[in-house]
Structure 1
Amino acid sequence: MKKLALLALVAALATSCSDDETSIPQEDLQLATPALHMRVSTASGESPFTGVLTVMPCQPESSIYFGNYVNHRLTPFYGYYMVKDGEFYESSSNRELLLPMGDYNMIYWGTPKYEEPIYSNPAVREPSYSIGGDLSQQAFSLLKMSNDTTYYPVYDLVHAVQNVNIGTDELVASLQRVVAGIKVSVKNQEGSALSSNIESVVIGITGIARELDFYTGQPQGDACTVAFPLVRSVDGTEMTNGTVMLFPSYGNPEFQMSIKLKNGTVKHFKQTLKSPLVANTKLTLNLTVGDIFTGDVSGDFTMEDWKEDNENIDVPIIE
């Protein structure tokens, strides 16, 4: 399996655990390692999960973190699995759960492997973990860009909570995607190469939740603007991005586009989308631009949004 860019997330998560450990000899307890079977729910149904999965054992019917036995001690280091087709496979990166037999409430977070291109530089602020800590008070949160008011896109994240009995049950869960995806494509009206006067194109999406509650996976916190650049295609006819992952929006977000020309001029376009960005949905925006890149004349955009019945919207650049 090819390398996952999203591994950076879970690798970073390991460093956010606190250092507290409880020295309870492993041999004094009946410890067990459960088997694991995972699926991902999508709009079109379910499919076996492939990617990186983390598992946080909590006390029964609660969000109080129990921990995991590592090197004969109870530690805050959660279970960490490389998973393919719903089953974990042997890897030096794996850190399996080893727990006393009994009931637990498991919190799952995963980053699926993606077959199509996705945005290459996601970032997220991770929660912290401590034995006896309440994980419902923790969250994944957006990471702010340096010297800016905007935030980075996030990883593709799936989530589930499940009560299990270690010793009798396997870890079997249907993971739900808790982020939305957006893909933007900008082309000329005639399908010809975009103007060489374009230096850069940056997209902004407003109204995005700052956090996801770690226990429930629900959006919370202030509304923020997430920004990301578009990249010119090899043949120069399109500027686009791999699918960008965002936390869900509060209401209908505003789509913003800033086009910087080589002469220093910046053109702006904005349009409120007709639907919120909700978890487990992917929105594709196809924008067609006119001859707006020479001089200071205004131009028109035609925006097709497959989520909006392919409505065409002609809006002049106003700044």
Structure 2
Amino acid sequence: MKKIVFGVLALSVATVSCVKDDCVLNEEKEGLVTPRLESRLADNESPLSGILEAYPCNAGTSIFCGNYVNDKLSTFYGFYHIQDGSIYGDNNREISLPVGQYNMVYWGTPQYEEPIHTTPAIREPGLSIGSDLSNLYFELRQNSSDTTYIPVFDLVYGRQNVNIGEEDLQANMRRAVAGLKVIVKTANNGVISSNVESIKVHIGGIAEKLNLYTAEPENKEKTVAFDLVRSVDNTEMSNAMIMLFPSTNNPLLQLFITLKDGTVHRLARNLSSTLDANTRLTLNVVIGNIFSGGGTGNFTIENWNEATETIEFPVVD
């Protein structure tokens, strides 16, 4: 990997409130163990490079038990920079805990070689010692200008029952989000008309949130919006790969094509594919004479296993 640029996925830390009699914030502890860590992406068993977070929970539960920083109990979960599956650099906040059994929850953001959406966002839960992670969520963040939502980070997830003092941390991660790339071209692969001011994509049926403990998506009723960018040679408009929480079956895709005179054309179809976790779709949209007020359009969807489908648009007046 020629260049490593690490993104940061940081949880807001709320005021600590203990739910156990023996839970004392800033309590000092001796005999702490800092285990080694290795991390892989389970889908293709390749080493992870990126950011990894580790949330220690009491054994057999989803109750966050905190982490010792400078030998004092704190709400600061483990935070690691990972390169090729191993800890990288000095700016890491390692897990440090007394010997014993723990239930470790992992979240991460992988590093990409190919371009991806540059301004993802999520709403992050507050965290305190004694928090039940099964009641906390990563949530979509709404756009300030309307009721649509912003694309999210590429998120991977894992969980491990671990005996601190005897076992290393082994984070075998699976992807919790889907990817989508849209490419708009003309029917003859010619230059896109200069009369086109912008194209905005809306993808509906997207989950509102992911459970922090299980990574399960909930409330698949939201719409995520993003813009397409014109290529240098003007032959296509597309986006860098965006990440989405998983969708309902056959989510609704809409294109809003704004012309320089302010008129807007809307194209809408339900996809035959579903944006499941670890699914990446490349959507090729071929437009005929839509910009001049007549003709038909169609688009082809291609996913990772190279299955394709074609959907025809009606004439757009």
Alignment TM-score, normalising by the size of structure 1: 0.92
8 Å Cα contact 1:268-1:317 kept in structure 2? no
8 Å Cα contact 1:34-1:166 kept in structure 2? yes
Q: Which runs of 4+ in 1 moved over 4 A?
A: none
- 5+ long unaligned stretches in structure 1: none
Equivalent position of 1:119 in the other structure? 117
Over 3 Å counting, the alpha-carbon distance change for 1:299 and 1:231 in structure 2 is same
- Tell me how many residue pairs correspond in the alignment: 306
CA distance in 1, matches of 2:254, 2:295: 16
Q: Which of 248, 251, 275 pairs up with 1:250?
A: 248
8 Å Cα contact 1:304-1:313 kept in structure 2? yes
3-state SS in 1 of match to 2:134: helix
48-57 vs 82-91, greater mean Cα deviation = 82-91
Equivalent position of 2:236 in the other structure? 238
CA distance in 2, matches of 1:144, 1:299: 35
Q: Does 1:79 align with 2:78?
A: yes
Equivalent position of 1:129 in the other structure? 127
CA distance in 2, matches of 1:261, 1:281: 33
Q: Does 1:298 align with 2:294?
A: yes
CA distance in 2, matches of 1:87, 1:67: 23
Identity %: 48
Residues 101-180 of structure 1: pairs in structure 2 closer than 5 A? 101-180=99-178
Residues 1-319 of structure 1: pairs in structure 2 closer than 5 A? 1-4=3-6, 6-7=7-8, 9-10=9-10, 13=11, 16-20=12-16, 22-26=25-29, 29-42=30-43, 45-92=44-91, 94-294=92-292, 297-307=293-303, 309-318=307-316
Alignment TM-score, normalising by the size of structure 2: 0.93
2:37 counterpart letter in structure 1: L
Over 3 Å counting, the alpha-carbon distance change for 1:316 and 1:63 in structure 2 is same
CA distance in 2, matches of 1:278, 1:212: 13
Equivalent position of 2:19 in the other structure? none
CA distance in 2, matches of 1:141, 1:317: 38
8 Å Cα contact 1:41-1:176 kept in structure 2? yes
8 Å Cα contact 1:184-1:286 kept in structure 2? yes
How far did residue 90 of structure 1 move? 2.2
- 5+ long unaligned stretches in structure 2: 17-23
3-state SS in 2 of match to 1:293: helix
How far did residue 301 of structure 1 move? 1.2
8 Å Cα contact 1:23-1:73 kept in structure 2? yes
